[in-house]
Amino acid sequence: MNTLNQVVFENAKWIFSGVGVPVLFFIVRYLLKSKTTARIAESNHAAHPNLLKPDILIDEAKKRPPLMVTAFSQQYEGLPVEWCLELLSAVEKNGNEAEFFFSAGRNGMVTCVFDLSKEPLIRAVSKGMRLNIKGIIKQVFDYRIDLRDASLSLPVETV
């Protein structure tokens, strides 16, 4: 804290001049806004977990400046989701893992990695199948969402 006081004292003329005040204002505003936005995102998801759709998240990430996508992503990291998505493709990464790619609307995808030794039936799913995917958001990009701790199941048909 002593260092902060020293920096403020040494730069008081610049900080409180016409240039420093707006800079400080924008820094404080940004910090407060990001914390508030994160709390709102978490409380909205808790109240309405089904409103968190992958295509909407990706569209919202695309609206952000490129260097702000990471801050946007941090609002959603760790949130559990459950979506019914169409399988686009899968790639075997090594003998025991495969990365799956699901459609998330027009311009995006959801990805996750599965351990094939724990879920051997995953090898039987085919492109175009709609599957329930349950997992935790790892990261949101402006073109994809990565999930961790994901599991797959067949959608339950309603009569």
State the chain's mean pLDDT as an integer: 81
Predicted local distance difference test score (pLDDT) of residue 113: 93
Q: Sorting pLDDT into bands at 50, 70 and 90, what band is 140? A: very high
**105, 86 in Cβ contact below 8 A?**
no
Residue 159 domain flag = no
27 with 3, same domain: the answer is yes
Q: Contact, 112 vs 97, CB < 8 A?
A: no
Segment (H or E) for 28: helix 20-47
User: Is residue 63 located within the same domain as residue 43?
Assistant: no
Residue 68 in any domain: the answer is yes
Does residue 15 have a pLDDT over 80?
Answer: no
What is the extent of the structural domain holding 140? 52-153
Asked if the structure places residue 142 within a domain, the reply is yes
Domain match, 68 and 137 both: yes
Residues 42 and 107 in one domain: no
- In a shared domain, residues 66 and 110: yes
Look at 10-14, 101-105, 136-140 and tell me which has the smallest mean pLDDT.
10-14
The domain boundary residue, chosen from 9, 24, 47 = 47
Task: For residue range 46-86, list pLDDT tens digits in order.
Answer: 555 556 899 999 999 999 999 999 999 999 999 999 999 99
Number of domains observed in the structure of the chain = 2
Residues 118 and 72 in one domain: yes
Q: Is residue 111 part of a domain?
A: yes
